[in-house]
Structure 1
Amino acid sequence: MDLTKDEMLERAKKPVEEAVKLHRYYQGKMQTVPKCCIRDVSDFAIWYTPGVAEPCKEIKKNPDLAYEFTNKGNTIAVVTDGTRVLGLGDIGPEAGLPVMEGKCMLFKYLGGVDAVAICLDTKDPYKFIETVKNLTPAFGGINLEDIAQPKCFYILDELRKDCKIPVWHDDQQGTAAVNLAGLYGGLKITGKRIEDIKVGFFGCGAANVATIRILISAGVDPKNILIADSRGVLHPDRTDLEDVKYDVKRHLAQLTNPQGISGGPEKVFEDADAVFCYTKPGPDVVKKEWVAKMAKDAMLF
């Protein structure tokens, strides 16, 4: 059935209203429960003391046995500093906790993987890295979440280099993998070739930067890429890219847009076969007249 604008707005408000009520009612989304059989208190002698000492001694001889004797291999740490939470920005570690619990819920419900929300009270990337490295003995993998850029790139690279377990930044690698899969599907439907398409990016945060990298590795020609941040299209003559903070953007400005196109975000839509938008939420951020200027059979993410 067709809904009026007011009816659509009312329907959109419903989850927001329910979220506050139900989060308070359940006091969060996650809990910890035993996975072993406990018939009575005498079983504690097996699962805790004195029996637990035997698997401890086995792991001491061979640390890899932690994956056989404990839940390490099926436990993920979801770690954030709360500096780039959803579309809310830097709201802090406590305010980011509901989102991290939500990610843990997705791991468990969709993949059967146990996950623990860990919100660190530091904005220092070096302290963040050191803390996560010290946590790795208890986990089989690290899922980084909602960390501001540009430090999110450095944190990911350093942890992947030093940690013995997989480290993944959802906002970078997770988003990029889904975007590439979506692009492959779109190319199959439209009959276009990945090496020929013109691709635009509206926003230059972690999600789009990682997507740019994976699309280039998959065959998109950097010369056919145009990127716009909040100040406009990236090009080598942008004077505000000289700040070290924008090192990633400066590199992308050199790698893409060889024509030196300048202007606002509307430029990335012109004749584009695909555009990826990761910018602030809300109506009219992407304007319909921009979309109308995209190429035939275009894809908008």
Structure 2
Amino acid sequence: MSKINVSKEEILQYHAAFPAGKIGTCVTKPLSTPRDVVMAYTPGVGTVCEEIMAVSEQVYKYTGKSNLVGVISNGTAVLGYGHIGPLAAKPVMEAKAMILKRFAGVDAFDIEIDATTPEDVIKVVKAIAPTFGALNLEDIKAPECFQIEQELIAQLDIPVMHDDQHATAIVASAALLNALLIANKDLAKVRITFSGAGAGAIATAKLLIALGANPSHIIMCDRKGVIRADRAELDPLKAPFATDHSVHTLHDAVVDADVFIGLSSGNVLMPESVSKMANNPIVFGLANPFPEIAYQTVMDVRKDVIFATGRGDYPNQANNLIAFPYIFRGALDVHASTINGAMQQAAVQAIQALAQEDIPVLVRKYYGETMSFGKEYILPKPMDPRLLSTVSTAVAQAAIASGVAKKSISDWDAYRQELVRRVGH
């Protein structure tokens, strides 16, 4: 795949072209005659209000709640920029809403809130939750994000997912399972080093352990270095990943490691460190927009490496955009009350398996005719139309099987076909 080049001017013009931004709203019912006005507004709308007053679940039948996600951020941990505030976070939230609609047919509102304490964020989000069928928390810094997500899950009866934690973990896990298959390595035996100990890293480590990784083979580093068991004032969120191994720095932790997973900040991994990793190393530099180590630097140092970034202009984009639209799609379609571990693992397995299948002509058109499952293709591409029916179905099935769905689906072939019709793939 050749590198995709776009200039700063092109990016700014793309966003500034009228109407500015990336999302808008549209009406979904006719509103062109006096009769339509009577049906849509007063007095007709009162009939619908009465139905919902009588049976609250009817809100899913008669309003857009069943297909509406709130993309919510306070701008405290945006991409690799950190705390840039709700205004500067808005372009990212618009992009999330745009992706939900384009790839999964899910309507979404981006909501940027001027609140930073967990208590304030929880209060605001809980107050607006009745509008939505699900909530996508986004770019909220650790450790506050853990408390915010956990309390909202406990207090609300709709799916709440912090995308930076769980969608990131799902994609990284699927990518790693395929990379290990290509490198002929066993998840239970490999040594894994994390750069970063925030929301994405902790969620990814937990999911990998659930999938079979050995906790004693995981070393996690934060800004202070290796998270060690003898560290004074050990953060309780990081404590499960504290190690007794005789390593203190990121460089120490990478030596002889099979896997490096970067969910931290750009350019923190030295090429000398990569050169000392085990044979056929797997390096995921997932910080955005600048990975922990540059693509060309890795390629110059190790010819046997399997390398992924979060960017779309290099091979192996391990980005949560190939997961979160379809997780929400599947959860919404069965009126799930939460997004649980079973649904997350189902998404991992669906994404992993899809990359191993024959690649559609449309995907080859966008990304290259010679592409095939291997070192430079370990994940489906974002433009792959199969993600919608494959991942959404897996998530919906897992929700039903695990008992968190309020609605059942009996004809899965018809459901897959309906998904395609909705989005036009």
TM-score, normalised to structure 1, is 0.89
Task: Name the Cα RMSD after superposition.
Answer: 1.8
Contact 1:223 1:258 in 2 (8 A): no
Match of residue 293 from structure 1 = 276
Q: In structure 2, the residue corresponding to 1:248 is in which secondary structure?
A: coil
Contact 1:81 1:121 in 2 (8 A): yes
Match of residue 302 from structure 2 = none
* 1:187 Cα deviation from its structure 2 partner: 2.2
Match of residue 16 from structure 1 = 8
Contact 1:232 1:262 in 2 (8 A): no
Kindly provide the amino acid, as one letter, of the partner of residue 271 in structure 1: D
Q: In structure 2, the residue corresponding to 1:77 is in which secondary structure?
A: strand
The equivalences for 1:1-301 within 5 A come to 14-26=6-18, 27-239=20-232, 241-242=233-234, 246-253=235-242, 257-259=243-245, 261-281=246-266, 284-301=267-284
Contact 1:200 1:268 in 2 (8 A): yes
Kindly provide the amino acid, as one letter, of the partner of residue 102 in structure 1: A
* 1:297 Cα deviation from its structure 2 partner: 1.9
Kindly provide the amino acid, as one letter, of the partner of residue 106 in structure 1: I
Match of residue 418 from structure 2 = none
Kindly provide the amino acid, as one letter, of the partner of residue 276 in structure 2: K
Deviations 1:22-49 (A, max 9, x none): 3222311111110112232431110111
* 1:110 Cα deviation from its structure 2 partner: 0.9
Query: If you compute each CA radius of gyration, which structure gives the higher value, 1 or 2?
Result: 1
* 1:222 Cα deviation from its structure 2 partner: 0.8
Q: In structure 2, the residue corresponding to 1:107 is in which secondary structure?
A: helix
Gapped runs of 5+ residues in structure 2?
Answer: 285-425
Q: Distance in 1 between matches of 2:34 and 2:96?
A: 34
Q: Distance in 1 between matches of 2:132 and 2:144?
A: 23
Q: In structure 1, the residue corresponding to 2:71 is in which secondary structure?
A: strand
Q: In structure 2, the residue corresponding to 1:85 is in which secondary structure?
A: coil
Gapped runs of 5+ residues in structure 1?
Answer: 3-7
* 1:108 Cα deviation from its structure 2 partner: 0.6
Kindly provide the amino acid, as one letter, of the partner of residue 257 in structure 2: A
Q: In structure 2, the residue corresponding to 1:235 is in which secondary structure?
A: coil
Which structure's relative contact order is higher, taking Cα pairs within 8 Å and 6+ residues apart?
Answer: 2
Q: Distance in 1 between matches of 2:264 and 2:247?
A: 19
Taking only the aligned residue pairs, the percentage that are identical comes to 37
Deviations 1:7-28 (A, max 9, x none): x8xx85x343222233222311
* 1:267 Cα deviation from its structure 2 partner: 2.1
Contact 2:218 2:241 in 1 (8 A): no
Deviations 1:146-189 (A, max 9, x none): 00111001111111111100000010001000011111111222
